[in-house]
Amino acid sequence: MTAHRRADIAGARRLVIKVGSSSISGANAHNIKPLVEALAAVHARGVQVVLVSSGAIATGMPFLDLDSRPSDLATQQAAAAVGQNVLIYRYQEALRPFAIVAGQVLLTAGDLENATHRSNARRAMERLLGLRILTIVNENDTVATHEIRFGDNDRLAALVAQLIGADALVLLSDIEALYTRPPDQPGATPIDTVGFDDDISAFQFGSVVVNSVGTGGAATKASAGRLAAASGVGVLVTSIDLVTRALNGEHVGTWFTPDPNATPTLTTASVDTTHR
């Protein structure tokens, strides 16, 4: 059932949830446990769950004695190779009490540009979900180059939601909602709902943020929200602290209303890696 309103998330059959690096790594690694508890609760009611999780590079950094996100591609790839292994282990350990098995899917933009690879990815994920595996998706940072990267996992999450025909996409961040301008500025007010045909050009989302652990920010979430909504997938942007309320369909965050006339089919044009 496609979610046309926030409340419909509670009755969704297939959900994509995305969480960023800053929310589940470093000092915030403790957030993995409550996040997994929320995912396990919806999994228990029969929902098929895909978690798009950033954090491979950030998780690998301490093991390479790095104090900040590396700027060169080779070190980013090395950190991702180490961190992805640790990240999946942490998720699986948190899932163990619920007897839920995690499955890992690593994608590059090229996988979704190529029709054969895209079909293979869809088939694999459909089978994982059919087997009741909680599927964890990340960009394959170990082999991706600057030229073929998604740019941020908000966009990847939107494309995955399109790929598997999700009923809704939930983008988790460090703030409760999107604001009309950066929330630390005077006059900033939270945005409750964005219609699929609303003009949001007056909102000051700012540029993509590159911090010590990852990339992203309000601008990427707004862009991903519009992308998924245009393909018929409703999108909720809210805080990881509100994940349980969000998955229960409560009135939190910023809701992107899906286009009721859209056909949710992922195409090469949807991937559009030229913006990076």
Q: How far is it, in rounded angstroms, from Cα 200 to Cα 136?
A: 31
Whether the CB-CB separation of 234 and 168 falls below 8 Å is answered with yes
Report how far apart the first and last C-alpha atoms of the chain are (Å, whole number).
34
Burial 154-185 (b: 16+ CB within 10 A, else e): bbbbbbbbbbbbbbbbbbbbebbbbbbbeeee
CB 173 within 8 A of CB 239: yes
Where is the binding site for substrate, in residues?
54, 141, 153
Residue numbers belonging to the annotated binding site: 18, 54, 141, 153, 173-174
Distances (CA, A) of 159 to 27, 77, 270: 29, 23, 7
Biggest distance spanned by C-alpha atoms of the chain: 51
Task: Give the distance, in angstroms, between the CA of residue 62 and the centroid of all CA atoms in the same chain.
Answer: 23
Contact 242, 270 (CB under 8 A): no
Annotated binding site for ATP: 18, 173-174
Is residue 56 within 8 Å of 20, Cβ to Cβ? Answer: no
Q: Is the Cβ–Cβ distance between 139 and 156 less than 8 Å?
A: yes
Rg (CA), the chain: 17
Task: List phi, psi (to 5°) of 176.
Answer: -75, -25
d(CA 187, CA 173): 21
